[in-house]
Amino acid sequence: MIVVRAEPGDLARLIRFRTDTAAWLQPQGIDQWSLPFPPSQMAASIARGEVYLFKENAAADAAATVTLDREADDLLWTPEEQLDDALYVHKLTVDRAHAGAGLGARILDWAGTRAARAGARWLRLDAWTANPQLQAYYLNQGFHHVRTVNDPEVGGSGWVAQRPAQATPGWPDVDLTEGH
């Protein structure tokens, strides 16, 4: 598996990751990602170099994606927590054709390795409050539940978790292939 930074031409694929996942979750009674995410926000994350694609080889379609940044959601993380050096996992999505092969766990380890190399103390994430299977998955990946926020007055919620940032043996020093 190789890791490449997403480029502007990948925006349609990133949107398809979300719509495909929402369509898979909906029959399970989970409304995660049922509202479209603004493409302009995705494009801005791509421009900042925060969006990554995981591929079997350079010519293959993306098997998964993740956004990794330093942006803490003010609704979910306290001002004190935001002072901690952390990288945040967003929009981690594995194509259903690659589900069940451990790719999500490998991506979380990759993100933890990048966080450790960047000097971060924590790898953090938030999950949909109505998706207990996803929450259990993250707990099984070594994350510790910090809190669940549900604030309808400001229109936000989230199940937030973190684990110490640490390098995973086996990730090479140069773990990012630039371009496609």
Structure tokens that stand for 16 in this block: 């398809």
pLDDT at res. 121: 97
pLDDT at res. 9: 93
Q: pLDDT digit string (tens) for 19-57?
A: 776 676 677 666 656 666 777 888 899 999 999 999 998
Arithmetic mean of pLDDT, 167-180: 56
Q: pLDDT digit string (tens) for 51-102?
A: 999 999 888 989 999 999 999 999 899 999 999 999 999 999 898 888 888 9
Largest Cα–Cα distance of the chain, in whole Å?
Answer: 46
Q: Compute the distance between CA of residue 127 and CA of residue 120 in angstroms, rounded to an integer.
A: 21
Q: pLDDT digit string (tens) for 114-159?
A: 999 999 999 999 988 888 889 999 999 999 999 999 876 655 678 9
